[in-house]
Structure formats: C-alpha cells, structure tokens
Amino acid sequence: MADSPSLQSLRAFRAVAESGSFARAAARLGVTGSAVTKLVAGLEQALGVQLLQRSTRRVGLTMAGEAFLPDCAQLLDDAEAALARVRALGDAPRGTLRIALPTSFALRCLSARLPEFLLRHPELRLDLSLNDRYVDLVAERFDGAVRIGSRPLPDSSLVARPLGRVPRVLVAASRYLRQAPALVTPADLVAHQALVYALSSSGDAWPFRIEDRELEVEVSGCLRVDNSLALRETLLAGLGLALTPRFVVDDLLADGRLLPLLEPFLPAPLTVYAVTTARRSFSPRARVFFDFLAQELERAGYGLD
C-alpha cells in the first residue's frame, strides 16, 4: 500500500499551483527548488496521477490538478486551524499573524496601542499591511483584515465579526466657512468645495438623512485622494469640507480646529469588521488580536453599543 501524502507535499503542490512557479513556491515555503520538485513528484506518485504540466516557461495545472487544488487547500487550512486550536489550549498565542488594515484606521486607532499588545503577547509576531485597498486574503495569504463599511460585506467567501461602529462627520475649518456659501441642508453642498476620499463606497455621492429618508448629494472639489489622512492638512488650510469617519479628525474637532456641520443630517455610523476566509475561520492568534482591537474601539468610544 502506498504511503499517504504528507502535509509538506500538499503544501508544496498548493504553493506551486497558487504561485505558478516552483521557484516562487520554494521562496514562499523557505526551502530549495529541488525540495519542492521532489515533494510534488512524491505527491503525484502517491496519488497515481499527474497534477502539474511542466514546461521550460510555465507551470500549469492538469485537469486532475484543477480538481484536487480546492480540496487540498481545504485540507491544509483545516489541518492548520486544528493545530492552532490545540496549541492554544495550553500555550500563549505564538507565531506570525498577518493582518491587513486601512491606513488611516491603523494609524489613528491602533498604532499607539500596539506596544501594549506586543508586550502582552511576547511570543506573537505581527505582520501588518497598511493599505486602503481590499486585499485578496487567500492569494496574499492574510490571516484576516479590518474593513469598514456601511453595509454587510458582499463577499460570501468571507466571514465577518463586527468590532465597533464609527460615526461619520462633515467638517470644515472656520477659515473655509467664512468665505463659503451658506450651508443649511445637504442640498447646499453642490455649491461647496468637497474634499473627497476616493475609495469610499459612496465616492462623489455623499449620503445623508432627512427625517427617515436617505439621499445622496453629488459633490465636487479640488481634491480626491485615496488616503483619508491626506484630507487633514487640506481641511485645516481652509480649502474645502469633507465627510469622513470621526477617527480621522477627532483630535481636530476636540481642539476646535475643525467644526462639525449638518449634524442632524449625517448618515448612519460605519461598522468596523474583522474579516477572514470562510474556510479558514478566525485562528486563535487572530481572535486575540481582534479581541484587543474591539476593546480599543470600546475605550475610544467606538464600541458596538
């Protein structure tokens, strides 16, 4: 009877299939290219089927390889989750945790508190990626991500855990308001200079509420930018107004450098989600991190209640 495939051989096949290269797979796994070749060949021999088409220029999946890859990935994810759960029963969180976070959220709500988290969990290594784009958790091998939105997440391949809620505020500096047109209702915004966060789901159509109705106002102005923190200096310079999560400007509101506007008409708060893939679920390492983040949001006044 042939030996059962090892986890190492399954990891090697998955890495080659996902990266399209034995060399890239070897770099991902931290082994030599010859070791990856040997592991994949051993897996194919154990299964009695060819999984990869090899040529001098590229590596592709055979029909058998395409059929096997999803099951292989599921098996590895389940094995890694099971091992992590067992380790968590008796050990402190340890190993590397790779998380993607929106830049402005990480810098304003998390970075100052990271030393406390790391001191609390000395055997845990954080690998944080700060980027406002939506990363592919599977392809880029993230354990989880933080996403902020006004609606439930549309991707059914993900599972989400709400961590907190963040109000949105419309703000401007007094120097802008002194020379700007009147601003009494959201409809007046069409005559104003809007500073727009380009990656917002609403884009140039800012959402507001009048009584029980929701409406959107098309805005325009001198700046569109894909990082919310870049709005701060432009706001302070009096070049326009912005609709933004409160954490982006909470200190500027507190000291009066920015003023809140149209407060009766503001849209509903945004929800801060922790997300991961449905097949991976939240690992013990990820749960520890997201528990800490939920506590920090609560401490800052952005809790779920």
Would you state the pLDDT for residue 77? 86
Which of 11-25, 68-82, 276-290 comes out lowest in average pLDDT?
276-290
Would you state the pLDDT for residue 1? 43
Q: Assign residue 184 a region: left if phi > 0, alpha if psi is -120 to 50, beta otherwise?
A: alpha
Domains and CATH numbers, the chain: 7-73 (1.10.10.10), 92-156+278-299 (3.40.190.10), 168-265 (3.40.190.10)
pLDDT in tens, 209-265: 988 888 999 999 999 999 899 999 999 999 999 999 999 999 999 999 999 999 999
Q: How far apart are CA 228 and CA 102, in angstroms?
A: 10
Would you state the pLDDT for residue 79? 87
- Answer whether 0.75 is exceeded by the pTM: no
Would you state the pLDDT for residue 88? 62
149 near 162, Cβ under 8 Å? no
pLDDT in tens, 149-184: 876 566 667 888 999 999 999 999 999 999 999 999
Would you state the pLDDT for residue 279? 63
Cβ–Cβ contacts within 10 Å for residue 140, how many? 11
Would you state the pLDDT for residue 57? 72
Tokens standing for 241?
């107004």
DSSP code string of 88-117 = HHHS---EEEEEEE-HHHIIIIIGGGHHHH
Would you state the pLDDT for residue 110? 93
Tokens standing for 66?
């395409």
Q: What is the arithmetic mean of pLDDT over 57-68?
A: 89
Between residues 118 and 280, the one the model is more confident about: 118
Would you state the pLDDT for residue 154? 62
Would you state the pLDDT for residue 153? 62
- In 3D space, the residue among 136, 162, 158, 175 whose CA is nearest the CA of residue 259 turns out to be 175
**Share of residues in the chain with pLDDT > 90 (%):** 65
Q: How far apart are CA 123 and CA 6, in angstroms?
A: 28
The CA–CA distances, whole Å, from 130 to 108, 133, 260 equal: 12, 9, 28
How much is the mean pLDDT over the chain? 89
Would you state the pLDDT for residue 2? 54
Would you state the pLDDT for residue 223? 94
pLDDT in tens, 34-52: 999 999 999 999 999 999 9
- Where residue 59 falls among pLDDT bands split at 50, 70, 90? confident
Would you state the pLDDT for residue 282? 78
pLDDT in tens, 83-95: 777 766 555 677 8
Would you state the pLDDT for residue 80? 83
